[in-house]
Amino acid sequence: MTGGDAKPAKAIPLYGTFAASAFSACWAETCTIPLDTAKVRLQLQGKALAGELNAAPKYRGMFGTMATIAREEGAASLWKGIVPGLHRQCLFGGLRIGLYEPVKNVYIGKDHVGDAPLIKKIAAGLTTGALAICVASPTDLVKVRLQSEGKLPPGVPRRYSGAMNAYSTIVKQTLLKLPGFTDNVVTHILSGLGAGFIAVCVGSPVDVVKSRMMGGGQGAYKGTIDCFVQTFKNDGAGAFYKGFWPNFGRLGSWNVIMFLTLEQTKKAFFPKDE
């Protein structure tokens, strides 16, 4: 085949770039989050010891901190915050990298020929980076709060039971700070629905893959990654959000019922002192 017969490379669609970027970012997050957990503990330790001049620091250095966490809390604790961390990377990595080319094309114009000017590339990077930070910021908050909680004294409950509990608790606390919202049934319903919606948006692809693996019959897929790839290849990115509204209806109502029951139970058995 001569050079003139060569076909131009097929452009990768936006959803393909987004999915590849999100997957790559999630894998990088999984490999490096122990270092991030150590970083958070060291940063918070400095704040805690500011008024205790004679107190010996619990954590020393990156590897010393990781060793202390693994020894006192178990090696799995190095991956505290991995769930919101993956949520963040799906949003941050996907938006920042996946939207870069479309945004750059908007800046340079559809009639532009040749390489884009450096200033337009920088502007596109700043735009997608700022958008990704704004969207992913809540997941970063939850991740840091989960990472910061170390070994607790006996009998002291953890601040959050998990990522979804942290999301819903923060949403409820935020609503209570807004004018017109108090600790009542309406606030509990809204916080439950909000937490349910976020959970479905983030967790729907995993739920679809789980359902297909369980219902596809023996040998239908080689594993989780194969199921994800085959679903994406055969049905497109939209397949990961099939059944979105029924799923939201189930999970949203579950959250509402659970939070209403939880709050009323706490009020009944553990009334606040007047």
Q: Do residues 219 and 231 share a domain? A: yes
Residue 231 CB coordination number (10 Å): 20
Q: Which amino acid is at 6?
A: A
Question: Looking at the domain assignment, is residue 30 inside a domain?
Answer: yes
| Total domains in the fold of the chain | 2
Q: Can you give the residue range of the structural domain that contains 222?
A: 194-242
CATH code of residue 40: 1.50.40.10
pTM here is 0.56
Q: Do residues 94 and 106 share a domain? A: yes
Q: Do residues 18 and 63 share a domain? A: yes
Number of C-alpha atoms within 13 angstroms, CB side, residue 138? 16
Looking at residue 181, its pLDDT comes to 73
Q: Do residues 137 and 259 share a domain? A: yes
Question: Looking at the domain assignment, is residue 181 inside a domain?
Answer: no
Mean pLDDT in runs of 10 for the chain (274 residues)? 52 71 83 86 60 67 88 90 85 77 82 80 84 78 81 74 77 75 74 75 78 71 82 82 77 71 68 57
Q: Do residues 261 and 164 share a domain? A: yes
Question: Looking at the domain assignment, is residue 7 inside a domain?
Answer: no
Q: Do residues 147 and 226 share a domain? A: no
Q: Do residues 108 and 226 share a domain? A: no
Query: What is the CA 164 to chain-centroid distance, rounded?
Result: 10
Looking at residue 49, its pLDDT comes to 45
Buried b (16+ CB within 10 A) or exposed e, 239-262: ebeeebeebbeebbeebbeebeee
